[in-house]
Amino acid sequence: MDDKNKGKKSTTAPTHGHSGHRARMRKRFLDNFGFEGFEPHEILEVLLYYAIPRADTNPLAHKLLDDFGSLASVFDAPIDALRESGCTESCAVFLNLVPHITRVYYDDKYKNHNKIVDLDNIGEHLRMKFIGRDNEVVVLLLLDAKGKELFSGVVSNGSVNSADMPIRNIVSLALRFNAARAIVAHNHPSGVAIPSREDITVTAQIKDALALVGVRLSDHIIYADNDYISLADSEYDVGIFVER
């Protein structure tokens, strides 16, 4: 190196080392048929390859885990919080997509159209509808007389006791699909899975509205974090029951 360049830092990013490391990590993933044996920071590092094309993602993976505590917490973190921890907006959006893609994946993979829905396990059946949601939504599940799924989806963005609770929409969908039973579920993103007085009142209103068109409300399930409560199986008397 000549004297005039001595002591100067190169402006060219050392991509070759990172490229080789990425190739090794991808091969390890393929050889293992998945992430078995990977540490949490290694999993995050590999995912970040697809949001950060050229830079070394290992330091950011460590920092995100240090800041948020776990992989799940990283994926659940708000976009603004991820940006404060060093992510670009594109990177933050990419990580934020993970729980939402997971929900869509499970919802699509385990669709129960033309299959009998197990009412004894209905809480687990609907849990996937709330993966990654940090806003309140109301989900409706409609079944025919044999317990086959006719419809399953979000019918309202907002709490079950909000002014826009779509009781009329629930009844309309039940009639459209010629349903025999309905199950309603909603979440408490920042609370606990304990029904409020309003939850119980609205449940009774939904039950009565559906009964007028010959549809039974079999349950109302409330989710919060990893917990849920079934009103049909609880001590809360709202006059609903499940035929076992």
Q: What is the DSSP string of 24-78?
A: HHHHHHHHTTSSTT--HHHHHHHHHTTTSSSS--HHHHHHHHHHHSSHHHHHHS-
Q: What average pLDDT does the segment 162-181 reach? A: 84
Q: Are residues 136 and 72 in the same domain?
A: no
Q: Are residues 100 and 45 in the same domain?
A: yes
Q: Are residues 125 and 96 in the same domain?
A: no
Residues 6 or more apart whose Cβ sits within 8 Å of residue 162: 136, 156
Alpha carbon distance 231, 235 (integer Å) = 7
- Tell which of 107, 134, 163 closes a domain: 107
Q: What average pLDDT does the segment 212-237 reach? A: 87
Q: What average pLDDT does the segment 161-179 reach? A: 81
Q: Are residues 119 and 137 in the same domain?
A: yes
Alpha carbon distance 79, 77 (integer Å) = 6
102 within domain boundaries: yes
Q: Which of 101-110, 167-176, 214-223 has the lowest mean pLDDT?
A: 101-110
Q: What is the pLDDT of residue 61?
A: 96
Output the pTM of the full model. Answer: 0.65
Q: Is the pLDDT of residue 243 over 60?
A: no
pLDDT tens across 93-111, in order? Answer: 999 999 999 888 877 766 6
- Tell which of 107, 141, 176 closes a domain: 107
CATH number at residue 212: 3.40.140.10
What value does the mean pLDDT of the chain take?
83
Q: Are residues 99 and 165 in the same domain?
A: no
Q: Is the pLDDT of residue 131 over 90?
A: no
Write out the two tokens for 162. Answer: 């909000």
Q: Are residues 23 and 102 in the same domain?
A: yes
Alpha carbon distance 154, 17 (integer Å) = 47
206 within domain boundaries: yes
Q: What is the pLDDT of residue 4?
A: 42
Q: What is the DSSP string of the chain?
A: --GGGTTPPP-S--HHHHHHHHHHHHHHHHHTTSSTT--HHHHHHHHHTTTSSSS--HHHHHHHHHHHSSHHHHHHS-HHHHHHTT--HHHHHHHHHHHHHHHHHHHHHT--BTSB--GGGHHHHHHGGGTT--S-EEEEEEE-TTSBEEEEEEEEES-TTSTT--HHHHHHHHHHTT-SEEEEEEE-TTS-S---HHHHHHHHHHHHHHHTTT-EEEEEEEEETTEEEESTTSS--SS-----
Tell me which residue range forms the domain holding 70.
15-107
Q: What average pLDDT does the segment 125-129 reach? A: 86
Q: Are residues 68 and 154 in the same domain?
A: no
Q: Are residues 83 and 36 in the same domain?
A: yes
Q: Are residues 53 and 99 in the same domain?
A: yes
Structural domains in the chain (count):
2
6 within domain boundaries: no
Alpha carbon distance 48, 65 (integer Å) = 13
Q: How many residues does the chain have?
A: 244
Q: Are residues 25 and 97 in the same domain?
A: yes
pLDDT band at 234 (very low <50, low <70, confident <90, very high): confident
- Tell which of 69, 87, 107 closes a domain: 107
